[in-house]
Amino acid sequence: MAAIPSATWRMFEQRISGKPLAKGLDAVSDAGIGLVGRFVPRRRRFLRQAEKILALEKHFSEMANAKLRQRSRELREIFRCNRDNSSDLERAFALVREVAYRQIGERPFLVQVAGALALEDGCITEMATGEGKTLTATMPVTVAGWRGRGCHVITVNDYLAGRDAEWMGRIYDFCGLTVAHIEQQTPPAERRAAYLADITYCTNKEVAADFLRDRLVLGRLRGLCSTLLAKMATSGGQATDRLVQRGLHYAIVDEADSILVDEAVTPLIISGQAPNPEQVESFHQAADIAGQLQPEADYRVNPRYREVELTDQGSSRLTELTDGLGGVWKGTRRRLEMINQALTAKELYLLGKHYVIEDDKIVIVDEFTGRMMPDRTWRDGLHQAIEAKEDVEINAPKATYARISFQRFFRIYRKLSGMTGTASEASAEFWQIYHMPVVTIPTNRPCIRKKFPTIVLPTESAKWTRIVDEIRDIHEIGRPILVGTRTVRASEHVSELLKSENLEHQVLNAVYHRQEAQIVAEAGQRGKITVATNMAGRGTDIKLGRRVTGLGGLHVIAAEPNESARIDRQLFGRGARQGDPGSAQGIFSLEDEVVSRYAKTIAAGLKKRYGNAKEYMSSAFVRSVFRLAQSRAERLALRQRKSVLRTDHWLDEQLGFTGAE
């Protein structure tokens, strides 16, 4: 494969803006190209080019600041006029390395430069936790700023957007570039100015919402020609004067697997108030009716596909219970929709896992990060059904003005790249959805993390007992411990068990999210016990305290497998960063949700055989059952994401809303 010119692969990797997913033989051919493309030696090429860039270090380190600024202006002119070549790119990256050292005291390592080259090439760059992805991005971001078309650096929350813009801003300022960031509270005038900056840090939610708002402002204007004609016809361009974005040219996505995969199916919706007291009352009625229906007899739940279906008896029972009710209950189809949402809320959406109640409001909890999302609601009446279930104030469903999924939105960019600590497991999806290959960059120092074999116990109660025993034994040594859970409910349960053993600890979940920075800052200190949902694995940095290194570093315990092995790896990556010592181990049970949903028959057989066993199971076969369950879950999730993307394209064709740029 090394003989294939890189230009040939760039032809295959061209952006797929506005194009629907391939089908049939085209999809098979495209997947085959992506599979073969994994064997292209990109990493070796980037590392070799990075060595050339490091060889220029002496040349730039001897320059005075004034001379360095002059070279920066010269390179900016070259890139703005698109006259650059590979040697210009190498000089540009070498210059940014030197500027970074002078401005923030950090000079990117060889592997960081290789990662930056992968980003510039439009790849997903996989770099281990703690390897400095924020600094890595400054090199391609600076070049993108010099090109003059704007560069968006996408982060997972407002805090990181503001922090990174300020932290790296000194590098960009030295290179003659303007940098800004956007938060949820940023007013329209400041947003417009921020997007006009050379470099804009923002979250995926804010940039996609601004795109939708701009589309609403433009109305029927879809392309450049119609927009220019309208501007001339009105002698002022009333619509265009209210736009905040200047286009979607290039985006570098931090935590790319979270934004481009985990949140891909989340539709961003612009909506407005649509008061309907009668409809609100129907949600209360639906919750009461759902409480009178009996599982199995009146309805069946399919937890794997997260579906609820009425039986024939349940349909008859529903007709009886709604007899005499007016409004939406008169129509058969609408009646079934209402009760289906009520049953879905009752059986499949759990307090402490999928949502929490804060200030008497339902707040969604992200299943992948454990973070609260107060600005989001479930659609199609599900949010109101859950409000009725929990007996809190029901907010009337809103009228939808515009919608787009994140995967559809990011496919609009002319150039896209991303970076994350875990991407290889989703390499096929990154190719099929975004046409971006994954490049795994080696660590700067060898990783010395000890990964112990997974412990599997027959029941959840046995698992929690074993976890507490492990925590007690390791805590006696003085090592810090991080226990990762999938849900708020599980983290609170572990906390209660630790309290009963008089083990002092900290809890980090959606309920205590405001203390996140302080809790994480102390998680690597001697003797610390931290119980956290997956939110601890994103945008945080656990540093070891004094004398902890000699004890073995941070020990990470996964209390339950996630639906994706990639997320388990994120948790384990919290320990043993940058060559530090550390260890990790999973302690699971045959009653854990993932295996009981996606490998139910096998898990039931194992539980029947080992149900009375007090010792744990750790055979290769037992561990393979968990891998099988995760594999099935990942395949199902991919099908769902593809389905959402196809729906987006269908809506584009039928409604003619979202343009190509």
Extract the tokens encoding 96.
């940014």
Task: Tell me which of 47 and 15 has the higher pLDDT.
Answer: 47
Confidence of residue 275 (pLDDT cuts 50, 70, 90): low
pLDDT at 11 > cutoff 50: no
Note the pTM of the prediction, 2 decimals.
0.85
pLDDT at 148 > cutoff 90: yes
Task: Tell me which of 281 and 481 has the higher pLDDT.
Answer: 481
Given this model, what pLDDT does residue 2 score? 40
Percentage of the chain lying above the pLDDT 70 cut? 89
Confidence of residue 9 (pLDDT cuts 50, 70, 90): very low
C-alpha angle 403-409-410 in degrees, rounded to nearest 5: 160
- Of 463, 500, 502, 468, the closest CA to residue 617 belongs to 463
Task: Tell me which of 579 and 58 has the higher pLDDT.
Answer: 58
Per DSSP, 258 falls in state: I
Residues near 219 by Cβ (< 8 Å), separated by ≥ 6?
239
546-558 pLDDT per residue, tens: 899 999 999 999 9
Across 289-318, average pLDDT: 91
Residues near 402 by Cβ (< 8 Å), separated by ≥ 6?
212, 215, 216, 269, 270, 657
> Are 603 and 622 within 8 A, CB to CB?
no
pLDDT at 537 > cutoff 60: no
Identity (one letter) of the amino acid at 553?
G
Give the mean pLDDT of the chain: 87
Across 146-167, average pLDDT: 93
Identity (one letter) of the amino acid at 122?
G
Say which range, 193-202, 212-221, 409-418, 430-439, has the weakest mean pLDDT.
212-221
Cα–Cα distance measured from residue 256 to residue 267, given in angstroms and rounded to the nearest whole number? 17
Percentage of the chain lying above the pLDDT 90 cut? 56
SS3 content of the chain, % helix, strand, coil (to 5): 50, 15, 35
C-alpha angle 88-93-95 in degrees, rounded to nearest 5: 95
pLDDT at 617 > cutoff 50: yes
Cα–Cα distance measured from residue 232 to residue 576, given in angstroms and rounded to the nearest whole number? 61
Across 616-636, average pLDDT: 87
Confidence of residue 7 (pLDDT cuts 50, 70, 90): very low
Extract the tokens encoding 102.
């002078």
Across 624-632, average pLDDT: 92
41-87 pLDDT per residue, tens: 899 999 999 999 999 999 999 999 999 999 999 999 999 998 889 99
Confidence of residue 647 (pLDDT cuts 50, 70, 90): confident
Cα–Cα distance measured from residue 140 to residue 117, given in angstroms and rounded to the nearest whole number? 7
pLDDT at 396 > cutoff 70: yes
Cα–Cα distance measured from residue 483 to residue 536, given in angstroms and rounded to the nearest whole number? 10
Per DSSP, 183 falls in state: -
Task: Tell me which of 231 and 555 has the higher pLDDT.
Answer: 555
Across 327-332, average pLDDT: 83
430-457 pLDDT per residue, tens: 998 999 999 999 999 999 999 999 999 9
Tokens 């987006």 found at = 648
- Count of Cβ atoms closer than 10 Å to residue 469 Cβ: 12
Given this model, what pLDDT does residue 29 score? 80
pLDDT at 93 > cutoff 90: yes
Confidence of residue 644 (pLDDT cuts 50, 70, 90): confident
Confidence of residue 579 (pLDDT cuts 50, 70, 90): confident
Cα–Cα distance measured from residue 74 to residue 68, given in angstroms and rounded to the nearest whole number? 10
For each of the domains in the chain, give its residue range(s) and CATH number, in order of start.
Answer: 111-268+406-440 (3.40.50.300), 274-397 (3.90.1440.10), 450-639 (3.40.50.300)
pLDDT at 147 > cutoff 90: yes
- Of 448, 422, 473, 442, the closest CA to residue 553 belongs to 448
